[in-house]
Homo-oligomer: A and B are copies of this chain.
Amino acid sequence: MAEALLLHEDPRSGNCYKIKLTAALLGFPLEAYQYDILKGETRTPEFLESINAHGRIPVLQIGERFLPESNAACWFLAEGSPLIPEDQFDRAQMLRWMFFEQYSHEPNIATLRFWCKFVGLNNLSEQQRDQMTAKRIAGQDALSTMNGHLEGRDWFVGSAATLADVVLFAYTQVAEEGGFDLSAYPAVQAWLKRVPTLPKYIAMQ
């Protein structure tokens, strides 16, 4: 990577961890600048003006350019590496699991973890409380889909780890902090032990 890489992040976020794990697996140095999302530090006029008008982290800064969306940042870092399959169909399958992660997994599993562990159940708004049951059911459905796919497979796509594994690992490994019981998903549990054996793996802080 010719240009300096700076991650605008909150270290409690699995979406930020994905990018740090991708960079670590590839041996890329990555500086970090930390924000506290609970204090609204990504909604300040300065942040919206110069980092991300959508008010979210992570944002990967590449030299003077800014790239929001965690899975897009992982893709940028991993292009040309073995973390992206060379085969066209496998590459699309990897993206399939990355879109699944953002649509069916993160909004349920990561959000319930955030509410349970960081916001606190007593501090939730009525609107948030109203969404908990739907998110619980959808999160279990996502874990069940992953478990079925991983039966008889070591990795989500092909015969080696790809970005699909990296991005799904981030919040699955901490799903129990959101009240999900992983013992119902043995193939997921076996895969969760496999990811940390990758060379240069780093754990979430």
Chain A residues near B (Cβ < 8 Å): 53-54, 62, 65, 67-73, 75-76, 79, 88-89, 91-93, 95-96, 98-100, 102-104, 106-107, 127, 130-131, 133-134, 141, 145, 148-149
Contacts and interface: CB of A to CB of B under 8 A. Distances in A.
Q: Give the 10 A-B residue pairs with the shortest CB-CB distance, closest first.
A: A130-B130, A76-B92, A72-B96, A72-B95, A69-B96, A69-B99, A54-B145, A102-B103, A72-B92, A127-B134
Copies of the chain in the assembly: 2
A148 to B, nearest CB: 5
A93 B71 contact: no
Main secondary structure of the interface of A (DSSP, over half): helix
A158 to B, nearest CB: 13
A84 to B, nearest CB: 12
B89 A62 contact: yes
Contacts of A72: 92-93, 95-96, 98-99
A27 to B, nearest CB: 18
A72 B89 CA distance: 10
A131 B130 CA distance: 7
Contacts of A67: 89, 92-93, 96
B76 A89 contact: yes
